[in-house]
Amino acid sequence: MSDTNLRVSNYLETPVLRIMTCGSVDDGKSTFLGRLLLDSGNVFNDQLKAIENTGRGTGSNRNAPELAFLIDGLKAEIEQGITIDVSYRYFFTQKRKFIVADAPGHAQYTRNMAVAASNSDAAIVLVDATSGVKVQTKRHLSILSMLRIDRLIIAVNKMDLAGFSRKQFRKIKDETARTIQSVYDHPCSFEFVPISAKEGDNVVRRSANMPWYGGKSVLELLEELEVDDSKASPFCLPVQFVARDSGKRYYAGTVISGSFSAGDDIIVLPSSKRTTVKRLSVAGRDVTGAEEGDPVMVELADDIDVSRGDRLVKSEKDLAQGNTLSCRLFWFGEKPAAAGNVCEMKFYSRRIRGTISQIREKFDLDTVRRIPADVLNQNEIGFGRIVLSAAHFCLPFNDSKDLGSFLVVDLGSGDTVGLGTIDSVESTGPTFPYATIVNKSMRASMKSQHPMLIWMTGLSGAGKSTIGNLLEQRMYESGYHTYLLDGDILRNGLNGDLGFDAASRRENIRRAGEAAKLLVDAGLIVIASFISPFMKDRSLVRSLFAKGEFCEVYVSAPIEECIRRDPKGLYEKVRRGEIAEFTGITSPYEPPVNPEITIDTSRCTPQEAVEQILNYLAED
Amino acid sequence: MGPVLRRLEDESIYIIREAIAESQNPVLLYSIGKDSSVLLHLATKAFHPVKLPCPLLHIDTTWKFREMIQFRDRMASELGASLLTYTNADGLKKGINPFSTGSAHYTSVMKTEALKQALDLHKFDMIIGGSRRDEEKSRAKERIFSLRENGHRWDPRSQRPEFWKLHNSRLLPGQTMRVFPLSNWTELDIWLYIHEENIPVVPLYFAAERPVVIRNGSLIMVDDDRFKLGENETPQMKKVRFRTLGCYPLTAAIESEAETIPQIIDELFVSGNPERSGRLIDHDEPNSMEEKKVMGYF
């Protein structure tokens, strides 16, 4: 084995890189992959023989084999001339082993592209140098973003047809970079490589046709990519299987984060029972400790009840508990997703029944923006809430892919109809709240009004309180039952225990939202005015209300104008250094993306602003 | 163990545990080959120190290499595992055999039908097998948890999407699940792991002088006296080994000097031929593996 010693040790010691190819139909995914395999010496002799004389080229290139045929598909696929499902290929170079998932480009089979994405460390996105970003490219990017595939290589393909032009490459590069920045709501790294999969430029070998490109080939970039994703997270071991043998019980599972050792005190969730780790083994070997990724078998000191799906942790605070998930959903069921759908959620080693309680927004591919929606059709990505029939211990997807994701399973067919990623989790009392005899609609009809929350957000001094007061006065005069919920008033009472750090500000808004919910339930029209600078907090409040019960009013004014007005003298205090954190000056304000109403108070009077709101409510 | 094998081992153990945990009546398909040996080794590790909580099932066509059957019985008794074997008695009675019946029909009756009969007989709901995606193009497209409809049919057009470690193993009456813990292993990974873990395999994988005849360009070993020699055929001794093992009349050998695992690994690094090219049944017709899978073959 001496000749291959070095190759074997490179192969074994460098972590495998899992990559995927995606992009729109005809942007050259299969040809790219064929070229990658061929030029890296990973095509078998008989495969090469099988594609001889398949060339459809012209001129000197006429006899070149059709590389796409190396990525041969299923009979059903060849019949239809499209790729239906993901195909996995395995190859290695001198540097490392690769698993490449070849994903379908066809819109109908986008779910399978998402399957490929979930199994990838990085994605190669093919974009046609002659035609640029297409709708399907945007769809793929939005799925990559949702699944947090944050290492992208954008291969601008067919450079041969674009005359190997630097100018054209730049144009496509700028366009694609803009799309990525609007689709991704979190940081990601991306590199652009001008390639010709057909001719082999910059796929494995650097191109002689594009001397202006000083960078690396796609394969060189892949060979150097670091894949270490692990971050210091607290210990969590979901129990996969309970094994019994001669009176003893053993718990099998994979450590999904952190580490633990024999002798450690642990807590079993959801029962919250405490015990100690007596003994453990990893993949059949007795060990004293285990870490992330290890498949362990654990013996506990006490004979307590532990079942599949339970989570072993060191502190109860390490996981979020709740029965209501604010989540993103990628829907691939034929029947649309809508409020009221009862499904089974398949979490990591645990199934729980649940109800979609709300679909709030969806991602519009043409404009690359979130737009209001109450259903999700096949292949759409949206935002909504799911209420589970039992409390669940999990984490937001940002913190843990394993604990923050779930499948949506149709109870009738058993099919997987959606994929969810958790944004936040909370408890909303019993899942199906106790039905009071007098309810919201009865209270509302007594008042002859449609109860709702009008939430005004904007900088201090933008005019929220002025407009809020005037609006309540006008509504009161028209016979409506209202209540004005003001940030300052709340801070003197209910929220008197809160400070101004990030967590307290968040809690301030959460309590305001919950208080407003009770008032709306009482049948009132609630007008709330809070700076509420963070989108995340505002969407949490929005998620507490049904469609039509929440109206976001963005009260905007230029910061200079707010400083000039400074009704409470706060900006002056900031200037003098008496207040450290202040929205708009030292901490950010995130403007709403799709507010129901936007008011620019530097261009209208408070009376005109109130008219604008009343007109909107009358139409709605 | 380096990160590549370590990760494969972790992934496979997770899948095996998940299948057993979600199943009412699981079974591990054991075909005696190197992949089955690795699968059995991993399954044993997955439940150590507890015994493997499911039986092994071997579909015996009665035409396996003799060394395979000896190896199977030795392994089962060493592990103390419960081994079930099944043969399609009806096919046997009808005299279906790999020489005169035609390989496609023979495989359909003695392997595919036999497997379906055995699964129905024992009412297994999750069937764990050692297929790998790098073996063949239709396997490259298959899910790790792969649904089988009534009659064990595979529908490649409507596979359930699976993400990360989330597998939907919900079954309606009549449906079963095939589970492939070795999906992401390559032939090279298998050998490197066998080497690392000292896993016993059938000696037929190592080069030795064996009696073979050349039929249609393939080296076929004369393993017993049921082998009907053609008029101009005389077995000759050649130094050969097998990259995969199946029914001996349908499994071609390759000429090789590789007598040890390191030599096999050496050979793989320079090899330019796919592993299953020695399986004659895969080449009955284009897409033949896909067709067999649709019908319920492994």
Pick left, alpha or beta for residue B25 (phi over 0 → left; psi -120 to 50 → alpha; otherwise beta). beta
In a domain, B68, yes or no: yes
Same domain, B143 and B75: yes
Q: What confidence score (pLDDT) does residue A481 get?
A: 92
Please choose, from the candidates A381, A490, A333, the residue with its C-alpha nearest in 3D space to the C-alpha of residue A144.
A381
What is the percent of chain B where pLDDT is above 70?
A: 91
Contacts of B164 in chain A (CB under 8 A): 118-119, 401-402, 405
pLDDT at B289 exceeding the cut of 90: no
Interface residue of A1, A242, A394 to substitute, partner B, most B CBs within 10 Å: A1
Residue whose entry in the numeric block shows the structure tokens 């080959």: B33
CATH number at residue B104: 3.40.50.620
Please list every residue in chain A whose beta carbon sits closer than 8 Å to the beta carbon of residue B272. 44-45
B221 lies in some domain: yes
- The structure tokens listed for A232 are 């210091």
Does the beta-carbon distance from A295 to B287 stay under 8 Å? Answer: no
Q: Determine the pLDDT at residue A57.
A: 47
* Nearest-by-Cβ selection for A405 from B164, B168, B172: B164
- Domain extent, residue B8, equals 3-189+287-295
Task: For chain A, list the domains and their CATH numbers.
Answer: 2-224 (3.40.50.300), 236-317 (2.40.30.10), 320-426 (2.40.30.10), 440-619 (3.40.50.300)
Spatial contact of A310 and A365, defined as CB atoms under 8 Å apart: no
Q: For residue B141, which residues of chain A lie inside 8 Å, CB to CB? A: 73-74, 85-88
CA distance A246 to chain B (A): 9
Helix (H, G, I), strand (E, B) or coil at A31: helix
Option in A16, A147, A332 nearest B161 (CB): A332
User: Under an 8 A CB cutoff, do B10 and A243 touch?
Assistant: no
Residue A43 has pLDDT above 50, yes or no: yes
- Does residue A324 surpass a pLDDT of 60? yes
pLDDT value, residue A586:
83
- ipTM of the predicted structure? 0.89
All residues of chain B having their beta carbon less than 8 Å from the beta carbon of residue A294 are 10
**Is the Cβ of B79 closer than 8 Å to some Cβ of chain A?**
no
Residue B170 and residue B214 in one domain: no
Question: Does one domain contain both B9 and B116?
Answer: yes
Percent of chain A residues topping a pLDDT of 70: 91
Question: Which structure tokens are listed for A553?
Answer: 């009013």
Nearest CB neighbour to B3, from listed A13, A92, A414: A13
**Is residue B93 one of the residues assigned to a domain?**
yes
Total domains, chain B: 2
Q: Give the per-residue SS3 of A37-61.
A: HHHCCCCCHHHHHHCCCCCCCCHHH
The reply to whether B197 falls in a domain is no
Q: Tens digits of per-residue pLDDT, A330-347?
A: 999 999 999 888 899 999
B161 and B173 share a domain?
yes
Q: Is residue B194 in a domain?
A: no
Quick one: how far is CA A145 from the chain centroid? 6
How many Cα neighbours within 13 Å face the side chain of A585? 19
Question: A interface mutation test: which of B15, B126, B170 has the most A CBs within 10 A?
Answer: B170
How many whole angstroms separate alpha carbon B269 and alpha carbon B278? 18
A-chain residue closest to B277, CA distance: A46
In this prediction, residue A328 has a pLDDT band, given cuts at 50, 70 and 90, of: very high
Would you say residue B90 lies in a domain? yes
List Cα–Cα distances, A191 to A152, A184, A221, A372, B72, in angstroms: 7, 15, 9, 33, 52
Same-domain pairing of B131 and B264: no
State the Cα–Cα distance between residues B115 and B127, nearest whole angstrom.
11
B9 assigned to some structural domain: yes
CB < 8 Å to A147, chain B: 163
* Segment among A115-124, A481-490, B84-93, B162-171 with least mean pLDDT: A481-490
For residue A1, what pLDDT is reported? 42
Residues B155 and B18 in one domain: yes
pLDDT tops 60 at residue A58? no
Task: Looking at the structure, tell me whether residues B80 and B176 fall in a common domain.
Answer: yes
Q: Which residues contact A60 (CB under 8 A, 6 or more apart)?
A: none
Any A CB within 8 A of B283 CB: no
B3 compared with A438, residue with greater pLDDT = B3
Model confidence at B35: pLDDT above 90: yes
pLDDT tens-digit map of B192-248: 999 999 999 999 999 999 999 998 888 999 998 888 888 888 999 999 999 999 999
What CA–CA distances, in Å, run from A254 to A233, B12, B267? Answer: 15, 11, 35
- The pLDDT value recorded for residue A213 is 94
The average pLDDT across B38-47 equals 95
**Shared domain check, B266 and B208:** yes
Interface touch B170/A409, C-beta < 8 Å: yes
In terms of domains, do B176 and B33 share one?
yes
Active-site residue, from A40, A326, A532, A539:
A532
Choose among A12, A74, A344: nearest Cβ to B5.
A12
Share of chain B above pLDDT 90, in %: 62
Question: CA-to-CA distance for B193 and B195, rounded, in angstroms?
Answer: 5
Mean pLDDT score across all residues of chain B: 88
Confidence label for A81 from pLDDT (cuts 50, 70 and 90): low
Give chain A's end-to-end CA distance (angstroms, integer): 77
**Position B150 confidence tier, pLDDT thresholds 50, 70, 90:** confident
Active site residue A230: no
The residue in chain B having the minimum alpha-carbon distance to the alpha carbon of residue A418 is B161
Same-domain status, B157 and B270: no
Which DSSP letter does residue A444 get?
Answer: H
What lies within 8 Å, CB to CB, of A277 at 6+ separation is A260, A261, A262, A263, A264, A266, A298, A299, A300, A301
pLDDT reading at A60 higher than 50: no
Q: How close B278 comes to chain A (CA, Å)?
A: 12
Beta carbons within 8 Å of A157's beta carbon, 6+ residues apart = A27, A28, A32, A126, A127, A128, A129, A195, A196, A197
Rounded Cα gap, residues A172 and A586, in angstroms: 37
B17 neighbourhood in chain A, CB within 8 Å: 240-241, 252-253, 295
Task: Identify whether residues B55 and B107 lie together within a single domain.
Answer: yes
Distance CA A284, CA B176 (A): 29
- How does DSSP assign B155-199, residue by residue? -GGGPPP-BTTB------TT-EEEE-TTTT--HHHHHHHHHHHT-
Sort strands A482-486 and A525-529 into parallel, antiparallel or unpaired: parallel
Same domain, B132 and B228: no
Mean pLDDT of the residues in chain A: 87
Range of lowest pLDDT (A389-403, B53-67, B260-274): B260-274
Q: Is the residue at B111 inside a domain?
A: yes
Strand-pair partners of B210: B238
State the smallest CA–CA distance between residue A240 and chain B in angstroms. Answer: 7
